[in-house]
A = this chain, B = another copy of it.
């Protein structure tokens, strides 16, 4: 079976797909008379299309086992969707699988390893795999759009492309 290469998540590599939410490299400054540090504007929330409203939810993802065949991808044509891991433990990891917006092209699939607090915000229309938590049940703060209009397209794949443990190891 062909396996998908897994890259370490980085702002540069992920830029075509949205924003990486991370403290390293973020603008930050003291507020509240110096008692709080604000790590500012880690990601924008794009939810206003067709009068949508952004909401804060929580996703609790079961740990997925590898190898994992990629059988489904989805996109939200009306808004961004951000995932912020509810952890700062760098032993906690999850996988992000994306493809560019527009007509789905399996040849352009890319996979990223995210670790600890590192989050992602999928830009509007970016194809992405449903949440792939690793190792243990994992909680994510999710900020996405609710409102009128069809905001979820899904596409089925034949599962011939696989996420496997050796690719994960190579990315670590």
Contacts and interface: CB of A to CB of B under 8 A. Distances in A.
A168 interface: no
B64 A35 contact: yes
A143 B45 contact: yes
A152 to B, nearest CB: 10
B131 A32 contact: yes
Interface in A75-124: 82, 84, 86-88, 117, 119, 121
A130 B35 contact: yes
5 contacts: A31-B130, A35-B64, A37-B60, A39-B58, A141-B141
Contact of A56 (B61, B72, B121, B131): B121
Contacts of A157: none
A38 B54 contact: no
Given A44-B53, A56-B82, 16 more contacts: A23-B58, A32-B130, A33-B72, A33-B130, A36-B60, A36-B61, A39-B57, A39-B58, A39-B60, A41-B57, A45-B54, A45-B55, A56-B143, A84-B141, A86-B86, A141-B141
A48 interface: yes
A113 to B, nearest CB: 19
B45 A56 contact: yes
